Structure 1
Amino acid sequence: MSQTYFQGVHHICMKVDDIQQSIDFYTSKLGYALRLKWDGGAMLKSPDGTHLEFFPVDEEKGYAHVAYVCTDVDAAYADLLKSGCTSVSAPESLTIPSEPGLPVRIAFVRDPAGNKIELFKEM
């Protein structure tokens, strides 16, 4: 890749049995603060600015993906596909349904080893 679109890790997503229990543990024991909570998910922020995201367990349990902050999700997605990644979902704009809502641009790919990567930009 001649241009880098990546600025670092935004969040790590974990699939958990009990979202509130995970919120309580990470806020009381590891110093995270609740940033967003919505029906079926939550996002916490650490003192250094990185985030954890929680979703309920489905076919995945544990770490589901790592999300990277991108300056241009669409261009990064296209470059990664050219370099051997496979598409999980094409770029889309959506709003995380919380109060207040968080508008984002996201896409998902799998790296050559099969790990799921989220391309993430807050709008």
Structure 2
Amino acid sequence: MLDHVGTEEADIDARVRFLTQVLGHRLLRWGTHVVTGRRIAMLADPAGMKLELMEVDAVRGELDHVAYRVPDVDAAHAALLASGCTEIRAPFDLLAARARSSLLAEPTGSRLQLVAYAPDSPDLT
């Protein structure tokens, strides 16, 4: 199940303001990117589709990742490794999201995030 897409944002505050004030998105939470230590913002549009904004110094112009919700991150991660994906980040706990996650590269190079949420996660829509 598609969960969210992640984008790079050089001016994350302006982007959050535009999405919430103009397009009607709801800010679910602010967080810290586990690799860069920079800010992230998780938002949901009026229909519930989520968008993760990741603060960067310079936008590369690429979609950063597509995230899929799975029931068991560890099992799905292992299955994708066996299918030819490359591990970028082993399964880990995302405390702010109350979730478990991992990050892999598909054979094509596209980045794929796996995520499983606790029932009380602020990221559930």
TM-score interval for Structure 1 and Structure 2 normalised by the shorter chain: 0.7 to 0.9
How many residue pairs get aligned? The number is: 111
Cα RMSD of the aligned pairs, angstroms, is: 1.7
TM-score normalised by L of structure 2:
0.80
Alignment of 1:18-33 (within 5 A): 18-33=11-26
Query: 5+ unaligned residues in a row in structure 2: which ranges?
Result: 33-38, 119-125
Q: Distance in 1 between matches of 2:27 and 2:44?
A: 6
Query: 5+ unaligned residues in a row in structure 1: which ranges?
Result: 1-7, 97-101
Aligned to 2:48: 49
Aligned to 1:12: 5
Once the two structures are TM-superposed, the CA of residue 58 in structure 1 deviates from its matched residue by 5.0
The one-letter code of the counterpart of 1:34 is: L
* Richer in strand (by share): 1
TM-score normalised by L of structure 1:
0.81
Once the two structures are TM-superposed, the CA of residue 94 in structure 1 deviates from its matched residue by 2.6
Question: Alpha-carbon deviations, 1:67-114, whole Å to 9, x = none?
Answer: 111111011101101111111011111312xxxxx3110001111100
Alignment of 1:90-109 (within 5 A): 90-96=90-96, 102-109=97-104
Equivalent pairs: percent with the same residue? 37
SS of 1:76 mapped into structure 2: helix
Gap change, CA 1:34 and 1:22, over 3 Å in 2: same
